[in-house]
Amino acid sequence: MRRIQRHRRGNFWIDSLAFRREVVVTGWTFNAVIVFLDDLVVYRAFGGQPRLEEISATRNPLGPLQAWGDSVGGALLR
């Protein structure tokens, strides 16, 4: 079971034009394994992370033109 939320942070125009994008990930995770044998618990294991907090940043100095560089560069080399 997990509950994870993602929120974008920063300027709307910079984010939408793909110059810079920051995403903040928060939440928690829980994993459990329970083995029953004839209505008796014979094995249990559990774990997870009580608090998740990550920040991922993507930066493209050329913004929307950054993706075009790969396709145009490949065409010029042919």
pLDDT recorded at residue 30: 96
Give the mean pLDDT of 13-17: 80
Give 15's pLDDT tier (boundaries 50, 70, 90). confident
> What are 65's strand-pairing partners?
none
Q: Are 28 and 1 in contact (CB under 8 A)?
A: no
61, burial (CB in 10 Å: exposed 0-12, middle 13-18, buried 19+): exposed
Q: What is the pTM of this model?
A: 0.59
Q: What is the pLDDT of residue 17?
A: 81
